[in-house]
Structure 1
């Protein structure tokens, strides 16, 4: 549980004495290490000097600390994921371009899950940013053109896009005439699974699958998703 997994390399394991020219570089190394090991990360604390500038801070496991109930009704308290984990790195800021790891704890007091890293909040945001950046304007135009051609050939072909603030394609849904006809007859049972596979853009492929009167799986529609949040699912 405490040793680096096979996904870890010497390049992304934080070590005592390591120096970085920016906080972002240091945080990214620790995030990549945490992602390969299977735990979430967050900034734990900071201390400023007399000049008001940051002189010290810590980054550690997201399960650090202990749960302190704040509500009066104990039956309405939400379960806590905190385990008072001590895994962290402490950083001394010597100047604007010198961030040095002054001490480090790699041991955790809870199981790690590298295979579920993409579901951890601190890594999920980075994955979503990467997916959105990989599907650029040229790709979006190509997909739009292809779907438009399909719709000209078959009026029952349906598709819809979800664009981000930069007008880049974020989520896509489509269903051809056969899928739509199957849905009319066999929509009583339907599955929607975003863990099926990802393509070379690392965008989630989400098929809508039903069951016909022979007990066979049938395709009812398809989606490509850049994230796994309520808005994208909707």
Structure 2
């Protein structure tokens, strides 16, 4: 059996796996100088030794490894991907009804992302956005993703992305204060991307010493051009004027983010 490209082979095997009820992973591959696939092994995602069971409990998406040997090998011959060996025997139960929940089968399309982004900007709750998507396809079973996948996407989309100019300006601002009085803390996500930032400069600290008896906090005052809320801590001076005591830029207005900000 042969395929015109690696992409065709992968698509075919993923469809086959989803129908049968197992997950797919690329177990090994080799590329040519032009970066095209010369050799590849596609197999069951349960290949390998078992993980610590505690990690399976904390992350249900992690399927237990059983050292399953089900796999197919393909080699590029005369520009085509030809199957050289096929092993279809699994050492675990297959789950056709649950295969759409496997990580390799999760797909949040660009259309769905646009719907979620648009609704989020309009302050429409994700529950309603997900519900409308379910209605659009007829049932939950027809969606190739879960509500939690939408949560994960919108969380990443909200991460602080200042752009080249914004990041440079922020760095230059922080670099102006090379002393023990200036304080700044940056919160990074799991992919080491900028998520939240909080800072207090010497003037803020001095103001707090005099006008820190009453402090207000408001994230509705301003958003930057990327839609990230500006989170100022504000006091009132002896002229009854608002005075900045500290500030932050945050990726979202959820409990976890506010806890990080207040603890900082």
> TM-score, normalized by length of structure 1?
0.48
Larger radius of gyration: 2
The structure with the largest helix share of the pair is 2
User: Per chain length, whose mean CA-contact separation is higher, i.e. which structure has more relative contact order (CA < 8 Å, sep 6+)?
Assistant: 1
User: How does the TM-score come out when normalised to structure 2?
Assistant: 0.44
